[in-house]
Structure 1
């Protein structure tokens, strides 16, 4: 029998070929079949296991799938997953959206620990480089049970490469390099990762440098040239859209008789300009450091203790409009915080009526200083103490999962930690005490088909920014005001899905409903100050519903078809109006053909893809909605369809490992369009054709 080996994520990830297929001609008497490698999910579950049999809706990117989907930003890396979109600024930012929620309403994690990146801003990117990730797990739906405040819509856990220990007396050293050129903005990405392992020690390190010029859009007529007020103000090369990044990580692990222990350090550094609707630019500096100490200690009776200590230092600096990177920092916005997290998980096997689960406690404390002349957010302190339990039980063809969590959360604005005048005196504290939980079930119709449903309660406490903001947010050309009387958001999320994972066909169909009480959102007040619109935070109940479809069909040994469909609706219960910044309905289709290997060429492939987005009207008063009334640009977008092309091959390199060459063309026909979640849409088109050429060369092994 001729067998094709490939990795597929248990019906939870489609839209790309996974491990390349071995395209060899078959004899007439050979039978075509596929062997699926086992994938284990670790995020959002009581115990690690098969994603097909988890009540929560989880997708995993790892190995070859992650390598091929890997992009400059986290959002673009994940946007092909059903239920996931990306807020951008041209080709910058890449801020993930899960089931219509983003920013403070979803949780981005690094190795299971939440990462704070001042995510309230539409153009504030996660401080994470996908190139340095070992795997990424996406939990869709309320995930407060394990991750606390901020996971109303879901969670994204970006995990470092696992420590690798060799058999006794053996050692190994391997490395990978990556070189990428982007034609659209002249961007160069140069990265390297290396690992050295023995039977007791594991070391790994990675570095990625990225440098880009100005973004280019199709060279269409501007509003000034055409007289059409819906045409953009800028086309062609967009000034002040350049950036530079330098990101790195280092990890060291040791295997002892007590268990596995590790230390990991990550650094993320970004400098970029933003183009403003006035035609001015604004300079921005972002720095993030994270240090983690981890352990995994097996105990008697199937228990394992997993302690984690984490420190994060984050610095955000931004100039006033017109002051570029080249002018240096002018002191306008200077936000800096340190965040400390201590987390202890106890993973167990059979315990009482349960087959396995996790008990945990987590404490976090964030201390922030606002040293700028403008109060984007005040100084203050945010702390949280949580206790949680998450358990699983198999009964025949059923898997039942349930958990409970309690959080004590405190947010304190501190005028003493804020340079500029603020709208409160001394220290102003808000304390919250919230229960959350989840209840889910999976029924196995067959070994390859399952029905899953999950009911989860989420919560999110308002942030320092939402409570106390009072000033110009230059990056969005608006004045934003907080509300110190905001209540915490709570949600009840339920989803129901059918999943299948057969050798030839994998996929899922999921419907969900997320009812949010006291939904927090920015609303245009209709007022202005100094020529800038004033947006203020408000609260209302809201409802989000949606449909996610995905399928991957191995039509023949060489031809693979895949597609995803995303529909999401969000409504303000009081006004019956759409919620802000919901992604447009989207459809993605791809066909991949694996050619026969010839000579030194291994795994050659060609992928043709289509991305369609429906027309989308901006919700009344949402951020950027003012562009529907200006003499240029638009906040609402028309439907569009883009074509993409991928082709590549591998060849044997150093240490008999495979080097890879990939050519990717995004927006193949240089189509004029505006993506609804592109925050430049108000005054510029979305990116034109981009040709990306990448070379990945391994060493050792």
Structure 2
């Protein structure tokens, strides 16, 4: 989206007052004057470190296993409570970045989609309360996930083969954000929370408020959020040294901040439910709006709007063949417009629904399990002068099941399977580029098996293996147009076949009291990995060859299937090294490494995070807490031929917390300092790493209250 003749940027491959919407202000008023009946709320247990002790409950992973077992065979991580509050960033991707096996795409501070074990896009299923909320984030790296971390109660990440129950598009993993917009448990009286923070490298002014209430049967939920940011401050030049050499001596180079990296988003939700001893049923609505800049184009803004309606119900302790039924439904209407110098260039729309029904059956001999059906349909369109894909309706119908067998007290086995039918129907809408696009049908089957064996009360070994098939997406089949986010002209492969992979992981786990550790390896081999390959030609917006140096020239790229493999290591552990009276000290270590390559040529796959390690120390004394964190990422020199390598970096962060009570309200105050040594940080997983680094030294202050 550009004015004709304007040079395209080349790249290789919170004021101190909290700004809230009127709804937010109303909620804050209610919170200030409302009286709590039950005196507060409690949060679930987190699998990651928090700087202050908090009341915890045994975690139940709803994403990794519909049976709700505490001993998970799946490699899974959960983030909630204070740990989630203290990690919250401007995007879901950045919030989760650094967890075991998880990195982020990033396209400026407002945009970031999670990457799991080197896989991104439509190989990672982004869910809200177990079902899809349609957007355009998998199509392009500059499209944000329309969700603010402040509205999330809990995040669950499932890595590798165990994500099979969510389809071929979860071949790399699942990220499920969970909220309480449809209350799932009885609420007696009124409870609520307010979050407010200011600071960071882009002076983010962020706030959220929620109120929940009920009479023990009928319950309601209302929330609102607002986030407003300035341009992101950086330690030096926006362009890397290697990129500045390519730009030439006469190029104007941004310094000290990233132009057009500011943004704002806001929204809210209402929900209600009826609860009883053995279940609940409810409905909710949430809306999201944003306006943020593209860091690759100074005059381009993206204005996004999403409406989402959800229906959910669960019935437990049934008689008959099934003991529990769970139903989730979501309908989404999404639109965003890319605006170039005040003129709308391309409008992206995506609307549709997804429904999922899970039924847990009564125990059959030694077997416990669940079966289910999932149905979805969405229509995606890109309208305008630079339409990249045709309007395409995608329909998916799937059956799935999971069975577990506790063979002995020490050994548990599981097996899962999923079969889905995917149909894609493109419509040219008068665009000659897509006149030849034909509909495609795919039948995709997947199967997985896992085992958990307890070597000793504190030690266990866990393994998973799966065969997974993924149907190509609409853009892998039908793309035919300029893609400024990556500086390419993309051409789909209308004859593309299913992506097939065999994946396995093996890990050793330890857990005794506050001490937990896991060390694992994983391996995935694809027989038809669909990815973009540059043809070596430079073309214009009409896919006509142009000579080097031409303004707005694009690298022509085509989708094709190759044999590929991913393998790596994940380490995660926390150890209580000192405890005396109210004093405690914990030390934690997280590290991961992913190696990904084209099997036939040995060439590295793009945007793979390097070896990373995080060493942290947590100190707690009564209501006081402190966390010091050292992150080191090694240089990434294994990049495709046309990409530039990234340097290593080391960052230091510090968090100070204080918990206190005022009447019946519970408070958490915190100060967070990030990148305190002001390092130039460029993620190898970011497509704009050479023109938009991560933020420099920053300090954020925040306050959270619950009652």
Contact preservation (8 Å) 2:240, 2:690: no
Contact preservation (8 Å) 2:196, 2:207: yes
- Partner Cα distance (1:666, 1:132) in 2: 22
Is 1:308 the counterpart of 2:328 in the alignment? yes
Is 1:639 the counterpart of 2:648 in the alignment? yes
Residue 93 of structure 2 aligns to a residue whose secondary structure is: helix
Contact preservation (8 Å) 1:505, 1:552: yes
In structure 1, what is the equivalent of residue 199 of structure 2? 182
Is 1:676 the counterpart of 2:684 in the alignment? yes
Contact preservation (8 Å) 2:105, 2:114: yes
The alpha-carbon deviation at position 203 of structure 1 amounts to: 1.1
Taking structure 1 as reference, are residues 164 and 537 closer, same or farther at Cα in structure 2, changes over 3 Å only?
A: closer
Taking structure 1 as reference, are residues 308 and 606 closer, same or farther at Cα in structure 2, changes over 3 Å only?
A: closer
- Partner Cα distance (1:555, 1:97) in 2: 32
In structure 1, what is the equivalent of residue 147 of structure 2? 128
- Partner Cα distance (1:450, 1:225) in 2: 47
- Partner Cα distance (2:416, 2:521) in 1: 22
In structure 2, what is the equivalent of residue 96 of structure 1? 114
The alpha-carbon deviation at position 222 of structure 1 amounts to: 6.8
In structure 2, what is the equivalent of residue 582 of structure 1? 608
In structure 2, what is the equivalent of residue 534 of structure 1? 556
Residue 88 of structure 1 aligns to a residue whose secondary structure is: coil
Residue 157 of structure 1 aligns to a residue whose secondary structure is: strand
In structure 2, what is the equivalent of residue 47 of structure 1? 67
Contact preservation (8 Å) 2:390, 2:434: no
Contact preservation (8 Å) 1:234, 1:685: no
- Partner Cα distance (1:294, 1:512) in 2: 35
- Partner Cα distance (2:198, 2:404) in 1: 47
Is 1:20 the counterpart of 2:30 in the alignment? no
- Which residues in structure 2 correspond to 1:498-513 (within 5 Å)? 498-513=508-523
- Partner Cα distance (2:109, 2:348) in 1: 25
The alpha-carbon deviation at position 654 of structure 1 amounts to: 4.6
> Bigger shift: 304-313 or 142-151?
142-151
- Which residues in structure 2 correspond to 1:132-151 (within 5 Å)? 132-143=151-162, 145-151=164-170
Match for residue 350 of structure 1 among 363, 372, 376: 363
Residue 428 of structure 1 aligns to a residue whose secondary structure is: coil
Deviations for 1:449-495, whole angstroms, at most 9, x for unmatched residues?
21111112222211111111111223333322211111121211111
Taking structure 1 as reference, are residues 654 and 481 closer, same or farther at Cα in structure 2, changes over 3 Å only?
A: farther
Residue 444 of structure 2 aligns to a residue whose secondary structure is: strand
The alpha-carbon deviation at position 342 of structure 1 amounts to: 2.5
Is 1:543 the counterpart of 2:565 in the alignment? yes
| Structure 2, gaps ≥5 residues long | 1-41, 541-552
In structure 2, what is the equivalent of residue 688 of structure 1? 696
Residue 371 of structure 1 aligns to a residue whose secondary structure is: strand
Deviations for 1:655-681, whole angstroms, at most 9, x for unmatched residues?
2x3211111111001112322123332
Contact preservation (8 Å) 1:646, 1:663: yes
Taking structure 1 as reference, are residues 197 and 80 closer, same or farther at Cα in structure 2, changes over 3 Å only?
A: farther
RMSD after superposition: 2.5
In structure 1, what is the equivalent of residue 298 of structure 2? 280
TM-score, scaled relative to structure 1: 0.87
- Partner Cα distance (2:214, 2:478) in 1: 49
In structure 2, what is the equivalent of residue 196 of structure 1? 213
- Partner Cα distance (1:654, 1:270) in 2: 37
- Partner Cα distance (1:226, 1:113) in 2: 41
- Which residues in structure 2 correspond to 1:406-421 (within 5 Å)? 406-416=419-429, 420-421=431-432
In structure 2, what is the equivalent of residue 362 of structure 1? 374
Contact preservation (8 Å) 2:529, 2:562: yes
In structure 2, what is the equivalent of residue 217 of structure 1? 234
In structure 2, what is the equivalent of residue 391 of structure 1? 403
Residue 477 of structure 2 aligns to a residue whose secondary structure is: helix
The alpha-carbon deviation at position 348 of structure 1 amounts to: 2.4
Residue 294 of structure 1 aligns to a residue whose secondary structure is: strand
Residue 150 of structure 1 aligns to a residue whose secondary structure is: helix
Residue 86 of structure 2 aligns to a residue whose secondary structure is: helix
In structure 2, what is the equivalent of residue 400 of structure 1? 413
Contact preservation (8 Å) 1:164, 1:197: no
The alpha-carbon deviation at position 257 of structure 1 amounts to: 7.8
Taking structure 1 as reference, are residues 271 and 226 closer, same or farther at Cα in structure 2, changes over 3 Å only?
A: closer
Residue 434 of structure 1 aligns to a residue whose secondary structure is: strand
Is 1:157 the counterpart of 2:183 in the alignment? no
In structure 2, what is the equivalent of residue 335 of structure 1? 348
In structure 1, what is the equivalent of residue 289 of structure 2? 269
Residue 683 of structure 2 aligns to a residue whose secondary structure is: coil
Is 1:433 the counterpart of 2:443 in the alignment? yes
Contact preservation (8 Å) 2:134, 2:351: no
Match for residue 514 of structure 1 among 512, 518, 524: 524
- Partner Cα distance (1:478, 1:226) in 2: 17
- Partner Cα distance (1:533, 1:84) in 2: 29
Is 1:237 the counterpart of 2:257 in the alignment? yes
Contact preservation (8 Å) 1:135, 1:158: yes
Taking structure 1 as reference, are residues 142 and 126 closer, same or farther at Cα in structure 2, changes over 3 Å only?
A: farther
- Partner Cα distance (1:621, 1:272) in 2: 32
- Which residues in structure 2 correspond to 1:489-500 (within 5 Å)? 489-500=499-510
The alpha-carbon deviation at position 444 of structure 1 amounts to: 1.4
Residue 168 of structure 2 aligns to a residue whose secondary structure is: coil
Contact preservation (8 Å) 1:364, 1:383: yes
Taking structure 1 as reference, are residues 7 and 176 closer, same or farther at Cα in structure 2, changes over 3 Å only?
A: closer
Taking structure 1 as reference, are residues 37 and 171 closer, same or farther at Cα in structure 2, changes over 3 Å only?
A: closer
Residue 44 of structure 1 aligns to a residue whose secondary structure is: coil
Is 1:375 the counterpart of 2:401 in the alignment? no
> Bigger shift: 543-552 or 516-525?
516-525
- Partner Cα distance (1:255, 1:173) in 2: 16
Taking structure 1 as reference, are residues 83 and 227 closer, same or farther at Cα in structure 2, changes over 3 Å only?
A: closer
Contact preservation (8 Å) 1:371, 1:420: no
The alpha-carbon deviation at position 225 of structure 1 amounts to: 13
The alpha-carbon deviation at position 37 of structure 1 amounts to: 4.4
In structure 2, what is the equivalent of residue 665 of structure 1? 673
Deviations for 1:47-86, whole angstroms, at most 9, x for unmatched residues?
1121xx2221111112232222222211122123111111
- Partner Cα distance (2:501, 2:472) in 1: 14
The alpha-carbon deviation at position 352 of structure 1 amounts to: 4.0
- Partner Cα distance (2:624, 2:517) in 1: 25
Match for residue 470 of structure 1 among 468, 472, 480: 480
| Structure 1, gaps ≥5 residues long | 22-34, 598-602, 626-634
Taking structure 1 as reference, are residues 407 and 20 closer, same or farther at Cα in structure 2, changes over 3 Å only?
A: same
Residue 106 of structure 2 aligns to a residue whose secondary structure is: strand
The alpha-carbon deviation at position 563 of structure 1 amounts to: 1.1
